[in-house]
Amino acid sequence: MTVHIDVERHPAAGGAAPAAPQLEALLAEAARLEASHLHVEPGARGVEIAFRVSGLLHPFRELARADGDALIGQIAAAARLSPEQGRPQRGEMRWEGEVLDIFVLPVVHGQRVVVQRAPRQAGHRELEALGMSAALANHARTVLARAGLVLVAAPTGHGRSTTLQALLGLAASRTRPALAVASGAMPDMLGVTRADASTVVPAETLRAGIEQDLDILMVDSLEDRAAAAAAMQATQAGRLVLAGIDAQDSVAAIQQMRSWRVEAFHLASALSLVMAQRLVRRLCPECREPVQATGSVSALLGFDPGSIVYTAGGCVVCGGTGFAGQTGVFESIRGDATIRRLVNDGGDAAILARHAFISTPNLGSAARHLARTGVTTPEEAVKISRGQGA
């Protein structure tokens, strides 16, 4: 990937001190490239800089050791961290209206730093812009208007927090206040109070949210039985609960709740919507190239022999990568009367899936549709279809 850095000075957001010139230039370049992460990795001879763009890590340049150490010091100072403590740390800084998550890890040659970008408007993105179909997005908006449980399932790194923040941004308001229990950086949202999941006990904080008379509770990751029980308690108290869960698909999310011994009746009565998602690389629409699918790809994806699919090209618009960011692949289980009955009666995974995906696509079907319509490559779709999207 060939990129050119434009060094330009911008005042920092929120009245904070501006970033140092070297850091400022790299953040500006990350924004220009629409990179999700900036990596700063010290080595024996120097410090490597890389950007993650469209899901792939691209080397950018190598700094002399002194310059690299200075950059790491600038990032640590901006995030109010102390790298000399010799342990992993996480902090935040603001830049140009963005909230940036900063992660520092002590390694053999110094401090490895990752800067994760979280756009300011992430909490107000249209659901369709995340990759949801119009039907799913419209149903989600309906569900957000009432009390109940909405689960968002995905492995780490597949956009779960972004989706939760988008849902929260649509649901919360001054007259419908919310509490977000989140471990990463979040944009400021109207009507939303944030608690840092790394410094509180999520289960206790969710219960406190009920006592605080908040209408909506969001937790970016349910991780144990206590948190699941607190989430269910909130739904029984008439709250809307938005909860992330580390699961491979929608049915697995329901099974995980069962494994935490959530009573079947309570889960069935509260369940409004379960979504599962993956991220795939999105082809650049300016230079994608139509090709005939190979026999093996056609067989794996269930396409007719000779079907037209698309592959990456490379142009000025996408910086020669052939890709334009990432998009979500979604499936959903709606909490209709039949699903509630099956959950209440202890229906197994096969029975739940058989009903849930009669008229809506599962992850594999959704990925195949994106490949057929040129949104992503068949290789990306195969990863999802074979259960390797994590």
- Whose tokens are 């329901």? That residue is 254
Q: Domains plus CATH for the chain?
A: 13-118 (3.30.450.90), 122-278+329-360 (3.40.50.300)
Q: Both ends of the chain: CA-CA distance in Å?
A: 25
| Amino acid (one-letter) located at 55 | G
**Spatial separation of the C-alpha atoms in residues 81 and 60, rounded to whole Å:** 25
Residues 6+ apart with CB under 8 A from 172: 178, 189, 190, 191, 192, 216
What pLDDT digit, counting tens, does each position of 112-171 carry? 999 988 654 444 568 999 999 999 999 999 999 999 999 999 998 899 999 999 999 999
Mean pLDDT of the chain: 88
Q: Is the CB of residue 274 less than 8 Å from the CB of residue 136?
A: no
| 161-166-168 Cα angle (round to 5) | 90
Q: What digits encode the pLDDT tens for the residues 42-93?
A: 998 899 999 988 778 889 999 999 999 999 999 998 888 886 767 888 888 8
The residue whose two tokens read 């969001």 is 218
Q: Who contacts 26 (Cβ-Cβ below 8 Å, separation ≥6)?
A: 5, 38, 49, 71
**pLDDT tens string 19-39:** 567 898 899 988 888 888 999
Taking the model in full, what pTM does it have?
A: 0.76
Alpha-carbon dihedral 285, 287, 292, 294, rounded to 10 degrees: -90
Concatenating the DSSP letter of every residue in 224-281 gives SHHHHHHHHHHHHTT-EEEEEE--SSHHHHHHHHHHTT--HHHHHHHEEEEEEEEEEE
- CB 132, CB 140: distance < 8 Å: yes
